[in-house]
Structures are given as structure tokens and as C-alpha cells.
Structure 1
Amino acid sequence: MGKQVTQSTMPETDLILDPVNLGKLIKAKRTAMKMKLADCAALCGVGINTLSRIENGNPNSTLGATFSILKGLGIRLSHLEPSKYTPDDEWV
């Protein structure tokens, strides 16, 4: 029997403001679905290395690949009104 997928934890923030936390969110969702990296990459139509780089927070990943992964995993982005942000929120 193959190696089992170990579930990752969700980011410790409600706001995803940087590639590192977006990668953590994607990895947490994938592992919660007990999906291996190769299977997820195939499902989303991206390469294994691309998915791995995005999960590791690489800021140079393409938006197209990132959105393919988000769509494949059923992750939706939402827009918050500016008044919902606190002064401590940083934009990267």
C-alpha cells in the first residue's frame, strides 16, 4: 500500500494576503481531501512542480496555474470591503 497523505493545517489567518498563506490554504485543502500531489496536479491540469511551488508559497507562480488549482480544489476567492481590513493588514 502507498504512503498515506498527512493532513496539513489551515493558515492561522482569515485573510490571505501573501503567497505563503495561499499555498498553506491550497495544501490544507488538498490534504484534507487525502489527495496526493501528483493526483491533484493532474486533476487541476498543472505540473507537479508547479503545484509544489505554489503550495510552498513561491511568489513567482503564474496566476493561471494558481486559479486552475483553486478551481480544481473548489476554493473560491471573495472580496471584502476595504472597511473590513484593520490597519495591521499588509499588502504584499
Structure 2
Amino acid sequence: MRPAEPPTLQAAGRRLEAFGRRIHARRKALKISAVTTAEAAGMSRMTLHRIERGEPSVTMGAYMNALAALGLDVELVAPDDRSASEVAAPASARTPAQTVRVADFAQLRRLAWQLPSTAELTPEEAWGTYERNWRHADPSALQDNERQLLAELARTLGRKPLDV
């Protein structure tokens, strides 16, 4: 038996559905099965499918776990906090064009085990993967190219460097 759906405004419901579609599209783009994603997120396949449909009765924690399993994150931004250029420019224009190939970095591959080795992440996705999963990394095993990547990501994204 499913829990009763909380009351939502129509606009919020449409946004949740769009959010779910984007999560689904990301999983498909990465060619990861629903079962693998659900296991990585610590949930049932049915809960993942409910998230991908944007159901409001699913907990925020479950949504966040699904996002993390797919190398995604969310940021809360008030409409007034965004500059006019951010609003006008699509997300792809606001982020660096280069990508980080998972297979090129041993610790990243270890932290992003659920992704295919051919997966390419945006700098933000790569940083988010390192940051969320750093407790599972082995800093002593970092090679020079991965140390350089971490330093460059921290500098480019304006983040505090990880303890390497």
C-alpha cells in the first residue's frame, strides 16, 4: 500500500515531474540499469521508478540518494539570486566545456564505481563525486595527474581543496 500523496500545488507537481524526467534521462544517458541505480542509492527499484515519475510522496532523502547515485546534486537558488546572464544562458553555456573521463583517474573510478568506465563527467559532477565520497578514497594512492585534477577543479569551481 502506497502512502497518501501530500497536497501539492499544480506548479510544484509539474516541477517534480520534470525533475523526475531529468533523473531518468541522466540514468539512461549513463546506460545504468534501474536495478543498479536503486542498489547504489539504497532503495528499491520501485522507489527509483516513483522518483523518475516525480511522485511527491517519495521522501526528499530518497531523491537525494538517487541523485548522488547518478553523480548529480542540487543547489537551491532563489530567482532573485541569479544574475541576468545565468537566467539567459543555458546550463551548458555556464559550465566549462571540458569533461573528466572516469577511467583516467583511479580514485575517481573507485568512487564512481556505478558508472561505466567510459563515462565522462562535467567538472561539477566530478568534484561532487569526489566531495561526497571522499571518505572512501585512498589519498595515498592518488597519482600526480589526479592530484592536479583535484587542484584544478577546486580552483576553477571556487571550492575548498580536499585534504590530499
TM-score by length of 2: 0.39
**Structure 2 Cα separation of the partners of residues 45 and 24 of structure 1:** 20
**Structure 1 Cα separation of the partners of residues 53 and 31 of structure 2:** 18
Task: Indicate whether 1:35 and 2:32 are aligned.
Answer: yes
**Structure 2 Cα separation of the partners of residues 63 and 79 of structure 1:** 14
Name which one, 1 or 2, has greater alpha-carbon Rg: 2
If asked which structure has higher relative contact order (CA below 8 Å, sep 6+), I would say 1
Task: Indicate whether 1:76 and 2:44 are aligned.
Answer: no
Counting aligned pairs with the same residue, the percent is 32
SS of 1:78's equivalent in the other structure is coil
Distance 1:78 1:59, change over 3 A: same
- The answer for the alignment partner of 1:51 in structure 2 is 48
Distance 1:81 1:59, change over 3 A: closer
**Structure 1 Cα separation of the partners of residues 41 and 56 of structure 2:** 19
Report the alpha carbon displacement of residue 30 of structure 1 after superposing the two structures with TM. Answer: 0.5
Counterpart amino acid of 1:72? A
Runs of 4+ in structure 1 displaced over 4 angstroms? none
Counterpart amino acid of 1:28? A
- The answer for the alignment partner of 2:59 in structure 1 is 62
Report the alpha carbon displacement of residue 81 of structure 1 after superposing the two structures with TM. Answer: 3.5
Which runs of 5 or more residues in structure 2 are unaligned? 1-13, 83-164
- The answer for the alignment partner of 2:19 in structure 1 is 22
Counterpart amino acid of 1:73? L
Counterpart amino acid of 2:79? P
Which runs of 5 or more residues in structure 1 are unaligned? 1-16, 86-92
What is the aligned-residue RMSD (CA, Å)? 1.8
Counterpart amino acid of 1:36? S
SS of 2:55's equivalent in the other structure is coil
Indicate conservation of the 8 Å contact 2:64/2:73, yes or no: no
SS of 1:61's equivalent in the other structure is coil
